[in-house]
Amino acid sequence: MSAMIDTAGWYSAARILPSPNFNARPPGVVVDLIVLHAISLPPGQFGGGHIERFFQNRLEIPAHPYFAEIQHLQVSAHFLIDRAGCVTQFVSTEDRAWHAGVSCWSARENCNDFSVGIELEGSESVPFSDAQYVQCARLCRQLQRRYPQIGEDRIVGHQDVAPGRKWDPGPQFRWDGFRSLLRDSEREQGEELG
Ligand SMILES: [Zn+2]
């Protein structure tokens, strides 16, 4: 019943939709950062499966004028958490997904090399759903179990690693509430193990 990240880097609680947009992490790199993002496609609209298709290079270009602008991009995240809290995984956490772009954290550049990227379906103006917080905390807790170097202070926003260039997950994301959920899911794990 308990969800986990297996040794190949796949999350047992996720729907798997493989993306071609990944490559190997640099040799010897330690995964020690989680970058949270927000995305909606078309911008401001939820549902429709466009994010999933975007990460698989299968956007339906005629579906919206904006899609022609982004069709040349080859990007991905390891995970997407939709409005209902459903988790989809596109890239193994052992591999390097293409989510952070030009980025820097703690004087280290190219955060894609050493981070896991989680996209939350959301926007700058709409609160994230409770289900998204719950599932994001559970996923982050399992990532911390798989990669113990990911301390609580190493779960950051895209806006923190690409300031001025990226806004997400943005002002709607309640970091305090998220961190207390993360601690709760840690306690639940402890009780399970006990
Ligand atoms: Zn982002």
- pLDDT attached to residue 155: 98
121 is catalytic: no
Compute, in angstroms, the gap from residue 183 CA to the centroid of ligand 1. 24
Task: Name the fold adopted by 15-193.
Answer: Lysozyme-like (3.40.80)
pLDDT digits (tens, 9 = 90+) for 119-129: 999 999 999 99
Helix, strand, or coil (residue 92): coil
Helix, strand, or coil (residue 75): coil
Compute, in angstroms, the gap from residue 55 CA to the centroid of ligand 1. 13
Between vectors from CA 177 to CA 133 and to CA 170, what angle results, nearest 5°?
Answer: 70
pLDDT digits (tens, 9 = 90+) for 45-60: 999 999 999 999 999 9
pTM of the predicted structure, to 2 decimals:
0.96
Is the per-residue pLDDT at 42 higher than 50?
yes
Going from N- to C-terminal start, the domains of the chain cover 15-193
- Which one of the listed residues 69, 119, 121, 152 is annotated catalytic? 119
Compute, in angstroms, the gap from residue 48 CA to the centroid of ligand 1. 20
**Residue 47 and residue 41 in contact, taking contact as beta carbons nearer than 8 Å:** no
